[in-house]
Structure 1
Amino acid sequence: MATLLPGGEEPPVTEPRLPAREAAERELSKPMYHENDPGLFQRALTRFWEWVDELFGAASGATPGGALGLVVIVLVVLLLVVALWWRLGTPQRTPAPEGGLFDDRPRSAAEHRKAAETHALAHRWTEAVQERMRAVVRSLEERTVLEPRPGRTADEAAAEAATQLPGHADGLRAAARTFDDVTYGGRAADEGAYLRLRDLDLALERTKPVLSGADRGAVQ
C-alpha cells in the first residue's frame, strides 16, 4: 500500500525500487547516451597516467624530502649517466681479432682457386674473395716466394711478398685489406672486389720475383 503524504496525496512514484533501477539501467544503456564516451585507447591512456601518478606518489612518499627529493635524485642519476657517456664515449663494436689466412686442412693453390670460382658462380662474393686470397698466398708459397708459415696473416703475407714483387706491392696491400674487411670487419664483398683479386692472382703468376742480394749471391 502506498504511503499517504500529508494532505492525503499519494507519492508521485509508486513503482517498486528494483524494477525502477532495472528500467533506469536499460534506459542508460541505449547508444544515444554513450556517443561521447572515450574510446578504448583513451581509456587505456587515462589508466596509464593514473598508474604513473600513483607510482610517482608512492616513490615520493618513500623518498626523503618527498617529491622534491625524488626530483633531485633523478637529476643526479642523469648527470652521472651524462658524465660516464662523456668520459667513455659512444660504445663501439669491438672488432674481431685478426687471425691467420688458413683455418682448415692444407690445400693447394689450385684447390683454393676452384673453390673461389665455385663461390663466384653462386654470387657468394665474400667467400670467393677469401678463397682467392688464400690461393694467392698458397701460390706464392708453392713458388717459394714465401716460406710456408702457419698463422701468417694476410697483411704479413702482402708485406713479405712485396719485397720480391715490388711491382704488385699496392695490389697485394689492397687485397690483404679487402680480405681483412670481409673476414674480420663484417663487410660484404662484391663482384668488383673479387675480379680485382682474381686479376692480381693471374698477374702474379706471370711475374718473376726480384731476387734479394742474398739470393743472387747463392745463385752465383
Structure 2
Amino acid sequence: MTLAGGVLTTASAVLSLARSGDEPPVTIPRDPAREAARRELAKRMYHENDPGLLQRALDAFWNWLDRLLNTAAAATPGGTIGLLVVILAVIAVLAALWWRLGTPHRQAASAPALFDDRPRSAAEHRAAAEAHAAQGHWNQALQERMRAIVRSLEERALLDVRPGRTADEAAAEAGRALPSHTDRLRTAAREFDDVTYGGRRSSEQSYHRIAELDRDLERSKPVLASSTNSAAHTTHKGAAE
C-alpha cells in the first residue's frame, strides 16, 4: 500500500469510529483526499534522503550519455567494440594532425614584416641570437639570426632598406645577388615563417643551419647585374656563331 493510500485509510477509519455503528461509513471525496495526501507527502521527514540538485543533474547527464552511447553502438558495425575502435581512430587522427600542424594560430591576411619598429644593426641581431641560443631559446635565436642575415645584406647594399619587407621577399631578392645560396635562403625564410607565424618549434640544429648560412653569406661575393648580363650576352653570341 502506498503512503497516500495509508493516509486516506487512516482518515476514513477515524471518521467511521466517530459515527454510530448503524450509520453508513463516511467516504472522502477524490479532490480532498488528493490534497490531504499532497500535504502529507510534502512534509520534510519524507525528503531528508533525496539527492541534491547537483546529483540529480549528474544522474540526468549520465543517463543521457548512456542512451547516446547505446544508440551509437547499435548503429555501428561490431556494436560496442566497433564504436570504441571508431573513437580511438578519430583520436589518433586528431593527435597526428596536432603533432604535424602544431597549435593553431590566427594568421594575418598578408605576411607580417620581418623587423620590428626599432632598427638594429646586423651585429646587434647576431648578439641577441647568440644570447637566446645560450639559454636554449631556439625560436628566438632563429628569428634574430634571420634578421641578422637580412640586415647584413642591407648594410652591404645587396638589399635596399625597406622596413616592410617580409622574410620571403628578402630571400627572393637576395637570391638574385647571391644565386648560389638561393635554396638555403628560401629554406631559412620558410623556417622563420613557420616559427614566427605558424606556431612551430625550432631546434638547435635549425639554428646552427641558419647561423652557418649567415657566416657563408658574409664570405660570399655578390653577382653583379652587369656581370650577369655580360655572361648572358656572351652565351647568346657563342650560340649564334
TM-score interval w.r.t. the shorter chain? Answer: 0.5 to 0.7
Matches within 5 A, 1:53-64: none
Structure-1 residue corresponding to 2:78 = none
Structure-2 residue corresponding to 1:139 = 152
Tell me how far apart the structure 2 counterparts of residues 133 and 199 of structure 1 sit (CA, whole Å): 11
Opposite residue 171 of structure 2, the aligned amino acid is A
| Root mean square deviation of aligned Cα | 3.7
Q: Secondary structure at the match of 1:170?
A: helix
State TM-score, norm by structure 2. Answer: 0.52
Gaps of at least 5 residues in structure 1 are 1-5, 7-37, 50-91
Q: Secondary structure at the match of 1:163?
A: helix
How big is each residue's C-alpha offset from its partner over 1:47-103, in whole Å with a ceiling of 9 and x where there is no partner?
Answer: 977xxxxxxxxxxxxxxxxxxxxxxxxxxxxxxxxxxxxxxxxxx865234111111
Work out whether 1:99 is the aligned partner of 2:112.
yes
Work out whether 1:179 is the aligned partner of 2:192.
yes
Structure-1 residue corresponding to 2:59 = 44
Q: Tell me how far 1:214 sits from its aligned partner.
A: 7.7
Q: Tell me how far 1:44 sits from its aligned partner.
A: 3.4
The structure whose residues are more often helix, as a share, is 2
Structure 1 runs (4+) greater than 4 angstroms displaced: 45-49, 214-217
8 Å CA contact 2:105–2:197 kept in 1: the answer is: no
8 Å CA contact 2:138–2:207 kept in 1: the answer is: yes
How big is each residue's C-alpha offset from its partner over 1:145-179, in whole Å with a ceiling of 9 and x where there is no partner?
Answer: 11111101111110000011011000000000011
Q: Secondary structure at the match of 1:197?
A: helix
Q: Tell me how far 1:111 sits from its aligned partner.
A: 0.2
1:203 equivalent among 216, 228, 231:
216
Structure-2 residue corresponding to 1:151 = 164
Q: Secondary structure at the match of 2:190?
A: helix
Q: Tell me how far 1:110 sits from its aligned partner.
A: 0.3
Number of residues of Structure 1 aligned to a counterpart in Structure 2:
151
Tell me how far apart the structure 2 counterparts of residues 215 and 106 of structure 1 sit (CA, whole Å): 32
State TM-score, norm by structure 1. Answer: 0.57
Tell me how far apart the structure 1 counterparts of residues 62 and 220 of structure 2 sit (CA, whole Å): 78
How big is each residue's C-alpha offset from its partner over 1:199-219, in whole Å with a ceiling of 9 and x where there is no partner?
Answer: 0000000100011128989xx
Q: Secondary structure at the match of 1:175?
A: helix
8 Å CA contact 2:153–2:159 kept in 1: the answer is: yes
The share of aligned pairs that are identical, in percent, is 58
Matches within 5 A, 1:106-117: 106-117=119-130
Gaps of at least 5 residues in structure 2 are 1-20, 22-50, 65-103, 231-241
Tell me how far apart the structure 1 counterparts of residues 206 and 192 of structure 2 sit (CA, whole Å): 10
Work out whether 1:123 is the aligned partner of 2:132.
no
Say if 1:122 and 1:215 are closer, same or farther in 2 by CA, change over 3 A.
same
Say if 1:191 and 1:45 are closer, same or farther in 2 by CA, change over 3 A.
same
